[in-house]
Amino acid sequence: MSFVGTRPEVTKYVERYKPEYNATLLMPAGITSEASIEYLEEEKLLKKPGDIDKIYLEEVLPEKMQINLNSIRNFSLPGDIITMLRTAVAVCRRV
């Protein structure tokens, strides 16, 4: 595990990944990521009426995967430091 890295989804969602999403499984899991910051309050998005799994698979997951893939493509130590700082700010704002 690393401080910054993609967070794998639960198995039932991984099984439905598009082929390009599998790249996120090759990286060490992280405590935080840009997708984690962006979706810090994900549970609010999933309170919409309807099938939660469908909403997650069609709306949330594709956006999270694009953020994760961009993070992999643009990996850098300064970028990871910025992500850690953004995480600290996001958590402090939530408290």
- The DSSP symbol for 16 reads T
H, E, C per residue of 17-78: CCHHHHHHHHCCCEEECHHHHHCCCHHHHCCCCCCHHHHHHHHHHHHHHHHHHHHHHCCCHH
Quick one: average pLDDT of 49-61? 90
Residue spans per domain, the chain: 2-94
Quick one: average pLDDT of 48-58? 88
Quick one: average pLDDT of 23-48? 91
What confidence tens digit (pLDDT) does each residue in 73-82 have?
999 999 999 9
